[in-house]
Amino acid sequence: DAGVIQSPRHEVTEMGQEVTLRCKPISGHDYLFWYRQTMMRGLELLIYFNNNVPIDDSGMPEDRFSAKMPNASFSTLKIQPSEPRDSAVYFCASNIRGAQGEQFFGPGTRLTVL
Amino acid sequence: KNEVEQSPQNLTAQEGEFITINCSYSVGISALHWLQQHPGGGIVSLFMLSSGKKKHGRLIATINIQEKHSSLHITASHPRDSAVYICAVRSNYGQNFVFGPGTRLSVLP
């Protein structure tokens, strides 16, 4: 298996632009997580899905952030409009409940908003 | 008080030394996860624990549920062990993890 796949790996954009981050979980995994990592706050959960349904989005910072999972093999995290304080590394992870729940992380997307 | 705390925050060791990184948490948990993040940024799962002890190569992880504490040990440390080690806990009530701040380890040759 290729592992969790994220795209793009790097994104540089200007303030006010829309940004879309993409994630393909490991096949067969029924949980998908979006995390944000910054120097100041470390790793934070933004939202997670179970069987494509959002379960907990309490970590989504503002209405500018939205996430979807239209099917079991694809999820997006969208920021509109983007702001410089959104600059961070965004990780996607997936796991299977019942297999001790070990999480498998994607390589991350480094977002820079100018 | 943060839910997950780690100590030390930073650690520098000489190659070959035995290393211990500690994690303490304040909530009831169903599992604890030790992660490794290399300078390139990728995150790798090391261990998932709900009780006792696990060993993989030179790495050993232990957990004491009653004391709400876990330790990660590295024997015969090597410069390639230099990374940030992150402890994460999953509460009894959900599937999401809460992360500690990480311990930055540098192993000098």
State residue A97's pLDDT score.
73
Smallest CA-to-CA distance from B5 within B32, B36, B40 is with B32
Residue entry with tokens 């099917």: A71
- Residues of A with Cβ-Cβ distance to B23 under 8 angstroms: none
Q: How far is CA A96 from CA A33, A57, A100, B20, B97, in A?
A: 12, 19, 8, 30, 14
Q: Is A98 on the interface with B (CB under 8 A)?
A: no
Give the whole-angstrom CA distance, residue A65 versus residue B2.
25
Q: Could B45 and A102 be called an inter-chain contact, meaning their C-beta atoms sit closer than 8 Å?
A: yes
Give the whole-angstrom CA distance, residue A42 versus residue A2.
26
pLDDT at A110 over 60: yes
Q: Could B88 and A50 be called an inter-chain contact, meaning their C-beta atoms sit closer than 8 Å?
A: no
Give the whole-angstrom CA distance, residue B36 versus residue A95.
17
- Residues of A with Cβ-Cβ distance to B86 under 8 angstroms: 42-43
Q: Is A10 on the interface with B (CB under 8 A)?
A: no
Least Cα separation, residue A109 to chain B (angstroms): 10
Cβ-based neighbours of B21, under 8 Å, separated by 6 or more: B6, B7, B8, B11, B71, B72, B73, B85, B87, B103, B105
State residue A99's pLDDT score.
44
Q: Could B97 and A100 be called an inter-chain contact, meaning their C-beta atoms sit closer than 8 Å?
A: no
Q: Nearest chain B residue to A36 by CA: give it.
A: B99
- Residues of A with Cβ-Cβ distance to B30 under 8 angstroms: 101
Query: Any idea which of A72-76, B5-9, B95-99 has the lowest mean pLDDT?
Result: B95-99
pLDDT digits (tens, 9 = 90+) for B32-70: 999 999 988 889 989 988 899 999 999 999 999 999 999
Omega of the bond leading into B79 within 30 degrees of 0 (cis):
no
Pick among A36, A41, A43 to test the B interface (most B CBs inside 10 A): A43
